[in-house]
Amino acid sequence: AQSVTQLGSHVSVSEGALVLLRCNYSSSVPPYLFWYVQYPNQGLQLLLKYTSAATLVKGINGFEAEFKKSETSFHLTKPSAHMSDAAEYFCAVRKGGSQGNLIFGKGTKLSVKP
Amino acid sequence: SQTIHQWPATLVQPVGSPLSLECTVEGTSNPNLYWYRQAAGRGLQLLFYSVGIGQISSEVPQNLSASRPQDRQFILSSKKLLLSDSGFYLCAWNRDSGRDTQYFGPGTRLTVL
């Protein structure tokens, strides 16, 4: 069975600092992994996805994530935080089967201090 | 291009009243459709998904139901709302292969009083 664990429900960084949001997964099949971002009272927007191609995945807004099979991790990073990055971030793994159902982590709320 | 709409954006309902939330997708055909609920501190919970008209799968037993009367329309309903039904409801779609990214609508904020 697939599962996702996001370490840290809240992360606070200063503007210009490195952003690191942690995600560990469990999957009995080769995983498809996703990071989504949610701004207040809005839907989820795809940041990036890993689908068994390159292990370093680049997404929108300067974010990237690295798939590490040995560590079962898919951490999200951005070299320099911007105030507009303040949002909630969700890691997800695609469930096995043809329906494409996603299993989400509980989310990490990112705050950016000026 | 494809777009997904949800209606209404916000809703305040008394306990015991009925519910109907609507989701429509434009610009594609035969999408997979999903309903999620997001409650504070609990992430996203998949409620229902549908691979075609009239085909509904339920992930969590509850007092909610879903229907898909048309190819690109997905409706979430309840006959009698509970306080615990409060939350942010998100509709999503992906292509019928199921392997594609899920794209989310803007959501409906439901408050049950």
Digit-coded pLDDT (tens) for A67-111? 999 999 999 999 999 999 999 999 999 876 656 688 899 999 999
Residue found by looking up tokens 């989701």 in the block: B23
pLDDT at B59: 85
C-alpha span between B97 and B78 (Å, rounded): 30
pLDDT at B87: 93
- Give the nearest chain B residue to A48 (CA atoms): B101
C-alpha span between A73 and A65 (Å, rounded): 9
pLDDT at B107: 95
Complete DSSP assignment for A32-68: -EEEEEE-TTS-EEEEEEE-SS-SEEE-GGG-EEEEE
Q: Which of these, B8, B3, B6, lies nearest to B31 by C-alpha position?
A: B3
CB contact under 8 A, B109 and A41: yes
Contacts of B43 in chain A (CB under 8 A): 90, 104-107
Which residues of A touch chain B, with CB atoms under 8 Å apart? 9, 32, 34, 36, 41-46, 49, 51, 90, 94, 97-102, 104-107
pLDDT at A34: 94
Q: What is the mean pLDDT of residues A11-31?
A: 93
Which are the contacts of B33, defined by CB distance < 8 A and separation ≥ 6? B23, B25, B49, B50, B68, B74, B91, B92, B93
Q: Which of these, A57, A65, A70, lies nearest to A22 by C-alpha position?
A: A65
pLDDT by residue (tens digit) across A28-67? 777 889 999 999 888 999 999 998 778 899 999 999 999 9
pLDDT at A107: 93
Give the number of other Cβ atoms within 10 Å of residue B46's Cβ: 20
> Residue B43 has what DSSP assignment?
-
Mean pLDDT per 10-residue run, chain B (113 residues)?
94 97 95 90 87 90 90 96 94 79 94 96
User: How far does the CA of residue B15 sit from the closest CA of chain A (Å)?
Assistant: 23
Contacts of A44 in chain B (CB under 8 A): 44, 90, 92, 104
pLDDT at A98: 58
B37 residue type, one letter: R
- Give the nearest chain A residue to B39 (CA atoms): A106
